[in-house]
Amino acid sequence: MDELLVMKNISKDFSSTRALDNVCFSVEKGEIHGLVGENGAGKTTLMNILSGNYPYGTYEGELILKGKKCRFSSPKDSERNGIAIIHQELSLIQGMSIADNLFLGNEKGNSFFVDRQKTMEEARRLMALVGLDETPETPVEDIGAGKQQLVEIAKALSKDAEILILDEPTSSLGKEHSEALFRLMADLKAEGKTMIIISHKLDEIISNADRITILRDGKSVETIDNRNKDADESRIVRDMVGRDINDLYPKRNSSISEELALKVEHLNVQSRRRKGELSLSDISFDIHKGEVVGLYGLMASGRSKLVKSLFGKSNGLLSKGSVEIYGKSVDLKTPRQAIDEGLAYVAEDRMRTGLSLDRSIRENMTLPGLKKVTIKGLIDKKKEKTVAGDNLDSFHIKASSYEQDVRELSGGNQQKVLLSQWFYTDPKVLILDEPTRGIDIGAKYEIYSIINEYVSSGGAVLLISSDMNEIFGMSDRIYVLAEGNITGELRKEEFSADKVMNLILKGGKHQ
Partner 1 sequence: MKIREFLRNNYLFVAFVLITILFGVLSEGKLFYAGNILNLFQQNMYVFILASGMFICILTGGNTDLSCGSAVCLIGAIAFRMMENGTDGAVAILVMLMIGIIIGAIHGYLIGRFRLPSIIVTLASMSIIRGIANLILGGYTLSVDDEIYLKLFGISKGFPFYFVFVLLSVMAAVYISEFAPLGKHIYALGGNRHSARTSGINEIKIIMFAYIFMGILTAIAAGVVTGRMGIVGPGLGETYAMDAIAACFIGGVSVSGGKGKISGVIMGALLMGVINQGMSIQGLSVNYQNVIKGIILVLAVLSGYLLNREGDKRL
Partner 2 sequence: MKKFLKLYSTEVVFAFVSLLFIILTGTEILRPMNITAIFLQNSYIFILATGMAICMTSKENIDISIGSFVCFICAMGGVFMAVTKLSTPVSIILLFILGILWGLLSGYLIAYLKIPAWVTTLSGYLAFRGLGVALINTFSSTGSIVGINESFLKLFSGKIFASNIDSFGPGSLMFCLILAILGILYKFYSLRKEGSRINRSVMIGCILAFIVMSLIGVSFGLTGGVPVSFVWMFIVVAITAIWIERSAEGRRLIMLGANPENARIAGVNVRKAMLMTYVFMAVCATLTGCIVLARFHASSSYAGVNFEMDTIAACAVGGVSLYGGKQKIFKAILGAALIGIINLGLSLIGVDMNWQWIIKGIIIVISVSFDMYLKKDRYE
User: Which of 342, 356, 298 shows the shortest CA–CA distance to 431?
Assistant: 342
Q: Does 74 bind partner 2 (CB under 8 A)?
A: no
Rounded distance between C-alpha atoms, residue 314 and residue 499, angstroms: 32
Do 175 and 511 touch, CB atoms closer than 8 A?
yes
Q: Does 352 bind partner 2 (CB under 8 A)?
A: yes
3-state secondary structure of 48: helix
For partner 1, which is the closer residue by CB, 41 or 310? 310
Rounded distance between C-alpha atoms, residue 75 and residue 80, angstroms: 9
For partner 1, which is the closer residue by CB, 101 or 415? 101
Query: Which alpha helices (DSSP H) does 160-201 contain, by range?
Result: 175-190
Class of residue 380 by CB neighbours under 10 A (exposed 0-12, middle 13-18, buried 19+) = middle
Shortest distance (Å) from residue 408 CB to partner 2 = 12
Site for partner 2 in 272-331 (CB under 8 A): 311, 314
- Strands 343-346 vs 429-433: parallel, antiparallel or unpaired: parallel
Left (φ > 0), alpha (ψ -120 to 50) or beta: where does 331 sit? beta
Q: Does 476 bind partner 2 (CB under 8 A)?
A: no
Q: Does 118 bind partner 2 (CB under 8 A)?
A: no
Q: Of these partners, partner 2, partner 1, none, which one is at the site of residue 421 (CB under 5 to 8 Å by kind)?
A: partner 2
Site string for partner 2, 420-439 (x = CB under 8 A): -x------------------
Q: Does 382 bind partner 2 (CB under 8 A)?
A: yes
3-state secondary structure of 478: strand
For partner 2, which is the closer residue by CB, 22 or 53? 53
Q: Of these partners, partner 1, partner 2, none, which one is at the site of residue 191 (CB under 5 to 8 Å by kind)?
A: none
Q: Of these partners, partner 1, partner 2, none, which one is at the site of residue 358 (CB under 5 to 8 Å by kind)?
A: partner 2
Class of residue 496 by CB neighbours under 10 A (exposed 0-12, middle 13-18, buried 19+) = middle
Q: Does 355 bind partner 2 (CB under 8 A)?
A: yes
Q: How many residues bind partner 2 (CB under 8 A)?
A: 34
Rounded distance between C-alpha atoms, residue 388 and residue 363, angstroms: 9
Other C-beta atoms within 10 Å of 458: how many? 13
336, 398, 492, 510: which one binds partner 2 (CB under 8 A): 336
Q: Does 374 bind partner 2 (CB under 8 A)?
A: yes
Rounded distance between C-alpha atoms, residue 435 and residue 423, angstroms: 13
Q: Does 368 bind partner 2 (CB under 8 A)?
A: yes
Shortest distance (Å) from residue 378 CB to partner 2 = 5
For partner 1, which is the closer residue by CB, 11 or 315? 315
CA distances from 354 to 75, 326, 368, 419 (A): 31, 26, 11, 9
Q: Of these partners, partner 1, partner 2, none, which one is at the site of residue 210 (CB under 5 to 8 Å by kind)?
A: none
Residues that bind partner 1 (CB under 8 A): 74-76, 91-96, 100, 103-105, 107, 109, 111-114, 272, 315-317
Shortest distance (Å) from residue 137 CB to partner 2 = 29
Other C-beta atoms within 10 Å of 415: how many? 27
Q: Of these partners, partner 2, partner 1, none, which one is at the site of residue 76 (CB under 5 to 8 Å by kind)?
A: partner 1
Shortest distance (Å) from residue 320 CB to partner 1 = 16
Phi, psi of 196 (to 5 degrees): -115, 125
Q: Give residues in contact with partner 2 (CB under 8 A).
A: 311, 314, 334-336, 338-340, 345, 347, 352-359, 363, 367-368, 370-371, 374, 377-382, 384-386, 421
